[in-house]
Structure 1
Amino acid sequence: MNKKGIVLSEVDGRKTVTGLGYYETETVRDFKQLVKNSIQKFGDKAAFKFKADGKIKVKSYREFGDEIDALGTALHGLGLKDKRIAVIGENRYEWAVSFFSIANGTGVAVPLDKHLPEVEIENLISRGRVDAIIYSKHFYSEMLQLAKRDTGIQHFICMDELEGGYPSNFHNLSKLMGEGRELLRTGDRSFIDAVIDPEKLSLLLFTSGTTSMAKGVMLNQRNVCSDVSAVTSIIKVFPNDVHLSILPLHHTFELSAGMLFMVKNGVTVAYAEGIKHIARNLKEFDVTLLVVVPAILEAMYKKLQEGLKKAGKAGTVKTLGRVSNALSAVGIDIRRKLFKKILEQIGPGLRLAISGAAPIDREIIHGFGTLGLKVIQGYGLTETSPVVAANNDFYNKAGTIGQPMKGIEIAIDNPDENGMGEIITRGPNVMMGYYEDEAATMESIDDKGWFHTGDLGFIDDEGFTTITGRAKSMIVFTNGKKAFPEEYEMLLNNIEGVKESFAWGNTAPDGDIQVCAKIVIDEAALAEKWGRKPGAEEIAEMVQREIKTLNQDIPQYKIIRYFVLSYEELIKTTTLKIKRPVEYKKVSEQLLKAGTNMRKANGKVIEQI
């Protein structure tokens, strides 16, 4: 059975799914038109909310547009037309104004990861040939150091007020806005009348990794605008919705789905004060929408379940959940009324969470869904602007990445006997190419426009795609069978007292491939559960028992053979994805120091299963 909104066919000899969409969408050709349309439609409605001096401040769509024009005009006044301008800082209103003042008629925006060390910031600035940088005060000392070196940066613009003496090419963003307003008053329309070429490079984004490994992804405004319109074709949001911006804005998922998509549809964007303050921000901003990575939802769900157990209500909620799900199946939805008190603890208005960047446990999707909070999983890459496929308002198949969005195709390249192969995609959202790397571009985009994602998966008969893992991290056993770290990690992370895990395939001296796992222990959770601080041997025995139980449901050749316990968090990207090569190198070095005993490694217990 085919699902409405897609076409299942065979293209170039491959099983292919093409997205048609469900909702009518108003397409835009560039960011400038996107913002202009929203100002006309939503005018004095709140566009952004944020905390300042302990109070919530609001900026309307009209104010937002005026400040973009003021800053953009000032940037022209500094001679930055057609230049490359980097933006680095925490998620905040000034970041959004800065981005649009660059992209809507000045030059090329180069968003940078705020967690980069100074040497990497300098290297990316050099690689990207950046002419100016807009930064938050957190980076002031780094900017002073960069100004002393020959980096090519002409202007340093601080989002915050600068105090005391500073070099002449350092500027306050607010002061520049004032200068821009004066230029506008005297008739300067250089920024306002600037014509956007949607096919021209507009965004230069560096992928996660060290500066030598990070690829520069080149996107134009056609790429991103087509993707934003495609998201609009499958998910309905409303002007009375409020989105809490949590993920870093330099990442395309938040930039596209968490900002551009929200602005296009008149949603209010509220800025979180940080990961630790999410629970409070959800309530005080009356948030209804989230764009997140699974780790955030997993933490929320875990806390919720722990609270229900403590209150002795887990069994009651489970029973009521079965009743509400049965009623929902026949069109009677009382979930939000039935679980109102529980939802108030999460966020009383929260109705939808869009998850991406990594697989999410289907139990979390079903668990939140039972309470009346819809969680949908999507899939994308920086190179695809970024969203390729997602579950939607009509079909939400947990465990899959859903269907391709409107105008986007997905196919499986070189499928095996089970239909699994590399996921490839094409559409107007696919990047222009890798920056100054023609060879990598040609390797990733074939002559028919298919982008090779490096992810493996399969398409079912209803057009839903399931990702099985990354081709690079795939574990291939001596019998030719395959497994993926993610499937083990999802099982291990469900063990009570396990914070997170990392799985890999280790080659034994006899050539046998053995699955190993590094397990990060939540010592505080175990201490609370056991009423005392547990010892290392006790924890090892507990984990060993749990893994033996898991192995009973796993084919013998795939079972987890070894594990190492740790209390240190795994090394991750800013979107909370495990840096697998880095983590593998680290754990390999630990095991090498352990020798053949396989009993102790840097104080971490190793157990054979």
Structure 2
Amino acid sequence: MHKKGIFLSEVDGRKTVTGLGYYETDTVGDFRQLVRNSVKQFGNKAAFKFKSDNRIIVKTYNEFGAEVDALGTALLSLGLKDKRIAVIGENRYEWAVSLFSIVNGAGIAVPLDKHLPEVEIEKLISRGRVDAIFYSRHFHGEMLELSGRNTGIQQFICMDSMEGVCPPGFSSLADLLEKGRSLLASGDRSYVDAEIDPERLSLLLFTSGTTSMAKGVMLSQRNVCTDISAVTSIIKVHPNDVHLSILPLHHTFELSAGMMFMIKNGVTIAYAEGIKHIARNLKEFEVTLLVVVPAILEAMYKKLQDGLKKAGKQKTVRVLGKVSNALSSVGIDIRRKLFKKVLEQIGPGLRLAISGAAPIDKEIIHGFGTLGLKVIQGYGLTETSPVVSANNDFYNMAGTIGQPMKGIEVAIDKPDENGMGEIITRGPNVMLGYYEDEAATREAVDEQGWFHTGDLGFIDDRGFITITGRAKSMIVFTNGKKAFPEEYEMLMNNIEGVKESFAWGNAAPDGDIQVCAKVVINEAVLAEKFCRKPEPDEIAEMLQGEIKRLNEDLPQYKIIRYFVLSYEELIKTTTLKIKRPVEFDRISEQLKLAGTTMRKANRRVIEQL
């Protein structure tokens, strides 16, 4: 049912927008109800697809629900009631079964980042006081070592079969499933009838960063379930849809929007074999939906444009795009028919991509939209379970993060003369708090329940929110004007031959704030552009000309003053966001080691960068 989706008001003296939703949706109170509702409604429909020995394996909703109950029953038999149980491994069906077996009646789940070094994994296990851990084969050696140290872990559960003799406390997931089935058959209902309190801590998630800096975010089942229902109220997905799971499952965006939201709506979840195999997986799994970060869409769009350029079809597509957009504006949509061959290069069935975690260039949203692939940008944080706002099926304003979702309030704190200030939000999706850090919790969530995001932005009269940047990375010039690294990076990333970039405000000896940038070059693209491998000075000359053209459209105080070139990719999180403080420290240290400054380094290729 289509109805007005937002309510504008003034709360606590602030202009506030509250999401009302566009579609009627049933809510779920906890994760077990979410799974059981889907099992009842979708039964023998495919819930998961994945490849094994080059064959596609299918798991139905009935099989999924039965295996969650069996594994959960086995966990209780091991004495793990109300214990903290970690999950670490690649995106896979067993990861999903493990997670739900914990939260649907056993204990508290602690998803861990599989890319962390061994020493950091051990520290997070210690910080989180983990009692048991599910892990994939890749971590078996590490777990054997951990078992020999006093880590507090009572049970090690491998998602794969184990070879050789293992110490006491080790089990395979397959063995526990068999044990759980036997217990259920004998009448053991300790797990399936276990009481679930949706208000209690259910998920403990550690944010990106070193173990000393990473914050433990405490989420309840109510936090996440209300957020999933809110997403369902603005974006319609169908049981015949197939979602390709790419982003790491330990991250709330994939955990909530990419898994739980899909299960609630009967969507089939297919597991990607890795970033390098996305193009193939999109076709062989007949994918229709994606939950991704901008970097993935940017790579897909660039590859598509390169293909059109090589085929000499760019001009034709531009002309046809204008025609299809004109027809769409009067209700005649022939885009997917008109661009069928182009879409086949991406994924013939792909119709919707939900992007989050970082800003995405409007050109990509418009470009894909012209072809008939809708790209929706949303916004959220781990602390908000995670989605706060998003564009939707009815309104898709490129360049904004859309409107707040159902039941969620958003306001601007201490707006300046242009209406820009810190984005704050409150609602049932806001976390319980930071783990063992009451001071940080009080700083983040005020007495009125508003969570302070640390992001700056503004809200227009229709309730659309625009993010201008992070408060911590904002560049403040000596004249008081402000700019954000993201706006420069988006411009530079569009330069042919630039893979990615990083911008910051550098303080000159006289106190002047100057915009500087590190530019990572794409050697393959430049080799094609120059018809040979270009010399470093040639690359610098080319880039200086491109940046000069960008500067012509900027006020003098905002221009990019200095840059360095690099062949090495930027330091990023597992969701491909730049680790800005870490990257800045690396550049500063390397410039120091090179005995130079940004002024002297200008137009130089610093190899170690």
Q: Name the TM-score class by shorter chain.
A: over 0.9
User: Counterpart of 1:197 in 2: which secondary structure?
Assistant: coil
Matches within 5 A, 1:467-486: 467-486=467-486
Matches within 5 A, 1:438-449: 438-449=438-449
Aligned partners of 1:338 and 1:539: how far apart in 2? 39
Counterpart residue type for residue 214 of structure 1: A
Report the counterpart of residue 329 of structure 1 in structure 2: 329
Counterpart residue type for residue 225 of structure 1: C
The alpha carbon displacement at 1:432 in A equals 0.2
Query: What do you get for the CA RMSD once the two structures are aligned?
Result: 1.2
The answer to whether the Cα contact below 8 Å between 2:537 and 2:604 also exists between their aligned partners in 1 is: no
1:168 aligns with 2:197: no
The answer to whether the Cα contact below 8 Å between 1:518 and 1:565 also exists between their aligned partners in 2 is: yes
The alpha carbon displacement at 1:605 in A equals 4.8
What is the TM-score when the length of structure 2 is the normalising length? Answer: 0.98
The answer to whether the Cα contact below 8 Å between 1:536 and 1:605 also exists between their aligned partners in 2 is: no
Matches within 5 A, 1:412-561: 412-561=412-561
Higher deviation after alignment, 318-327 or 522-531: 522-531
Report the counterpart of residue 46 of structure 1 in structure 2: 46
User: How many correspondences in the alignment?
Assistant: 604
Report the counterpart of residue 394 of structure 1 in structure 2: 394
User: Counterpart of 1:212 in 2: which secondary structure?
Assistant: coil
Aligned partners of 2:523 and 2:343: how far apart in 1? 28
Higher deviation after alignment, 588-597 or 327-336: 588-597
Report the counterpart of residue 217 of structure 1 in structure 2: 217
Structure 2 spans left out of the alignment, 5+ residues: none
The alpha carbon displacement at 1:596 in A equals 4.9
Report the counterpart of residue 352 of structure 2 in structure 1: 352
Aligned partners of 1:591 and 1:558: how far apart in 2? 23
1:577 aligns with 2:577: yes
The answer to whether the Cα contact below 8 Å between 1:18 and 1:406 also exists between their aligned partners in 2 is: yes
User: Counterpart of 1:452 in 2: which secondary structure?
Assistant: strand
Counterpart residue type for residue 369 of structure 1: G
Q: Percent identity?
A: 81
User: Counterpart of 1:350 in 2: which secondary structure?
Assistant: coil
Aligned partners of 1:601 and 1:160: how far apart in 2? 52
The answer to whether the Cα contact below 8 Å between 1:27 and 1:226 also exists between their aligned partners in 2 is: yes
1:310 aligns with 2:306: no
User: Counterpart of 2:269 in 1: which secondary structure?
Assistant: strand
Change (3 A) 1:131 1:605: closer
Aligned partners of 2:596 and 2:447: how far apart in 1? 50
1:65 aligns with 2:56: no
Report the counterpart of residue 588 of structure 1 in structure 2: 588
User: Counterpart of 2:183 in 1: which secondary structure?
Assistant: helix
Report the counterpart of residue 235 of structure 1 in structure 2: 235
Report the counterpart of residue 159 of structure 1 in structure 2: 159
Aligned partners of 1:430 and 1:385: how far apart in 2? 7
The alpha carbon displacement at 1:461 in A equals 1.1
User: Counterpart of 1:236 in 2: which secondary structure?
Assistant: coil
Aligned partners of 2:581 and 2:293: how far apart in 1? 20
Aligned partners of 1:529 and 1:515: how far apart in 2? 28
User: Counterpart of 2:495 in 1: which secondary structure?
Assistant: coil
Q: Report runs of 4+ in structure 1 exceeding 6 Å deviation.
A: none
Report the counterpart of residue 34 of structure 2 in structure 1: 34
Aligned partners of 2:108 and 2:603: how far apart in 1? 47
Aligned partners of 2:112 and 2:491: how far apart in 1? 34
Aligned partners of 1:130 and 1:603: how far apart in 2? 49
Deviations 1:285-344 (A, max 9, x none): 000000000000000000000000000000000000000000000000000000000001
The answer to whether the Cα contact below 8 Å between 2:231 and 2:405 also exists between their aligned partners in 1 is: yes
The alpha carbon displacement at 1:601 in A equals 9.2
User: Counterpart of 2:554 in 1: which secondary structure?
Assistant: coil
Aligned partners of 1:497 and 1:20: how far apart in 2? 44
Higher deviation after alignment, 38-47 or 583-592: 583-592
Report the counterpart of residue 135 of structure 1 in structure 2: 135
Aligned partners of 1:264 and 1:183: how far apart in 2? 28
Deviations 1:184-220 (A, max 9, x none): 1111111100111000100000000000000000000
Report the counterpart of residue 111 of structure 2 in structure 1: 111
Aligned partners of 2:7 and 2:150: how far apart in 1? 54
The alpha carbon displacement at 1:592 in A equals 2.2
Counterpart residue type for residue 357 of structure 2: A
Aligned partners of 2:306 and 2:251: how far apart in 1? 32
User: Counterpart of 1:573 in 2: which secondary structure?
Assistant: coil
Change (3 A) 1:596 1:280: closer
Deviations 1:117-157 (A, max 9, x none): 11000000000000000000000111011111100000000
Report the counterpart of residue 78 of structure 2 in structure 1: 78
Deviations 1:55-99 (A, max 9, x none): 000000000001001100000010001000000000000000000
The alpha carbon displacement at 1:414 in A equals 0.2
The answer to whether the Cα contact below 8 Å between 2:18 and 2:407 also exists between their aligned partners in 1 is: yes
Aligned partners of 2:334 and 2:113: how far apart in 1? 43
User: Counterpart of 2:332 in 1: which secondary structure?
Assistant: coil
Structure 1 spans left out of the alignment, 5+ residues: none
The alpha carbon displacement at 1:599 in A equals 4.2
Aligned partners of 2:573 and 2:590: how far apart in 1? 22
Deviations 1:263-306 (A, max 9, x none): 00000000000000000000000000000000000000000000
The answer to whether the Cα contact below 8 Å between 2:544 and 2:603 also exists between their aligned partners in 1 is: no
